Amino acid sequence: MNKRPRTSVFTVLVTLFAVVMLPMYLLGYGIFQWGYQMTTDEITQSIYTRASFFTNTLESEIQRIRTVHQECLNDSDLYYYVNSLSIMGSYEKLTGLLNIVKRLELVHNSSAYIKDVKLWMPRIPRMVTSSGGVESMMGDWQKLLDAPVISPSTGLMVYEGELYFCSSYPAGISYTNNLPQYVLAVQLSNEKISEELMGFNLYPEAGTLLQATEQDFHLETGQDIRITGKELTAEGQFSVGTYRAENGEEYLLLSHESTELNMRMHTYISKKSIYGGLDTYRGLFVIFTVAVCLLILAYLWFSRRLISQPVRRLVDSLRQVENGRLDVRIDHRTNDEFSYLYASFNQMAESLENMFEINYRQRMLAQEAELRQLQAQINPHFLHNSFFILYRMAKDEDYDNISEFLTYLSDYYRYITRNASIEVDMEAEDGHARRYVQIQLVRFKKRISADFAPLPEKFKELKVPRLILQPLLENAFNHGLKDTVSDGLLRVWYEERDTKFLVFVEDNGSGMQDAELEALQKKLRSADDFLMERSGIINIHQRLRIRFGPDYGLKVEKREPGGARFIMMLPYASGDEAPGKE
Partner 1 sequence: MYRILVVDDEAFITDSLAFLLENQAPAELEVVKAYSAAQALELLNHSAFQIVISDIEMPGKSGLDLLREIHAKWPRCKVVFLSGHDDFQYAHQAMRYNAVRYVLKNEGDDVLLEAVAECIRRIDREQKSVGNVLKNSTESSVTGRQRRNLRRCLTESRNGADYPPEEWKKLGIRLDTDRKIMLMAGCTRESIYENNLQSVQTVLESKIGHAVLSDAVLLHKKLGIWMMQPADRNNRDHALAAIKGLAEEICEACRISLHIHITFIFDEEEVSWADVPRHVTALQDIAQNRLNKDSGIAMAGFRFFEQQEENQEEPVAEAAFVCRLMSHIRENLGGDLSLSALSELVYLNPSYLSRRFKEMTGENLTDIILRLRMEESCRQLEETTNRIKNIGIQVGYESAAHFSRIFKREKAMTPQEYRDRFMR
Enumerate binding residues for partner 1 (CB under 8 A).
380-381, 383-385, 387-389, 391-393, 395-398, 401, 442-447, 481-486
DSSP string, 524-569: HHTTTS------HHHHHHHHHHHHH-TT-EEEEEE-SSS-EEEEEE
Using CB atoms within 10 A of its CB, is residue 372 exposed (0-12), middle (13-18) or buried (19+)? Answer: exposed
Closer by beta carbon to partner 1, 381 or else 581: 381
Using alpha carbons only, what angle is made at residue 108 by residues 107 and 109, rounded to the nearest 5 degrees? Answer: 95
Q: In the complex, what is the shortest distance from the CB of residue 482 to partner 1, in angstroms, rounded to a whole number?
A: 5
Phi-psi region of 142 (alpha: psi -120 to 50; beta: other; left: phi over 0): alpha
Closer by beta carbon to partner 1, 100 or else 437: 437
Q: In the complex, what is the shortest distance from the CB of residue 481 to partner 1, in angstroms, rounded to a whole number?
A: 7
Closer by beta carbon to partner 1, 478 or else 521: 478
Q: Confirm if 281 and 214 have CB atoms less than 8 A apart.
A: no
Q: In the complex, what is the shortest distance from the CB of residue 387 to partner 1, in angstroms, rounded to a whole number?
A: 6
Amino acid letter at 516? E
Q: In the complex, what is the shortest distance from the CB of residue 393 to partner 1, in angstroms, rounded to a whole number?
A: 7
Closer by beta carbon to partner 1, 360 or else 388: 388
φ/ψ (deg, to 5) at 485: -85, -35
Closer by beta carbon to partner 1, 269 or else 448: 448
Q: In the complex, what is the shortest distance from the CB of residue 383 to partner 1, in angstroms, rounded to a whole number?
A: 8
Q: In the complex, what is the shortest distance from the CB of residue 466 to partner 1, in angstroms, rounded to a whole number?
A: 27
CA 166 from centroid of its chain's CA atoms? 74
Q: Using CA atoms, how far apart are residues 263 and 62, in angstroms rounded to an integer?
A: 13
Closer by beta carbon to partner 1, 187 or else 484: 484
- Using DSSP's 3-state secondary structure scheme, residue 269 falls into strand
Closer by beta carbon to partner 1, 147 or else 476: 476
Q: In the complex, what is the shortest distance from the CB of residue 562 to partner 1, in angstroms, rounded to a whole number?
A: 14
Q: In the complex, what is the shortest distance from the CB of residue 467 to partner 1, in angstroms, rounded to a whole number?
A: 23
Closer by beta carbon to partner 1, 346 or else 379: 379
Closer by beta carbon to partner 1, 230 or else 446: 446
Q: In this structure, what DSSP letter does residue 577 have?
A: P
Q: In the complex, what is the shortest distance from the CB of residue 382 to partner 1, in angstroms, rounded to a whole number?
A: 9
Q: In the complex, what is the shortest distance from the CB of residue 381 to partner 1, in angstroms, rounded to a whole number?
A: 5
Using CB atoms within 10 A of its CB, is residue 334 exposed (0-12), middle (13-18) or buried (19+)? Answer: exposed
Q: Confirm if 330 and 344 have CB atoms less than 8 A apart.
A: no
Q: In the complex, what is the shortest distance from the CB of residue 368 to partner 1, in angstroms, rounded to a whole number?
A: 29
Closer by beta carbon to partner 1, 330 or else 441: 441
Closer by beta carbon to partner 1, 488 or else 536: 488
User: Which residues in 248-322 belong to E strands, given as ranges?
Assistant: 250-258, 263-270
Residues 6 or more apart whose CB falls under 8 angstroms from that of 1 comprise 319, 322
Closer by beta carbon to partner 1, 235 or else 397: 397
Q: Where are the alpha helices (DSSP H) in 74-125?
A: 76-84, 90-110
Helix (H) or strand (E) holding 448: strand 448-452
Rounded to 10°, the helix 426-443/399-417 angle is 140
DSSP string, 322-381: HTT-TT------S-SHHHHHHHHHHHHHHHHHHHHHHHHHHHHHHHHHHHHHHHHS--HH
Q: In the complex, what is the shortest distance from the CB of residue 443 to partner 1, in angstroms, rounded to a whole number?
A: 4
Residues 6 or more apart whose CB falls under 8 angstroms from that of 433 comprise 452, 469, 470, 473, 492
Q: Which residue, 134, 131, 137, 165, is CA-closest to 149?
A: 165
- Count the alpha carbons within 13 Å of 212 in the hemisphere toward its beta carbon: 18
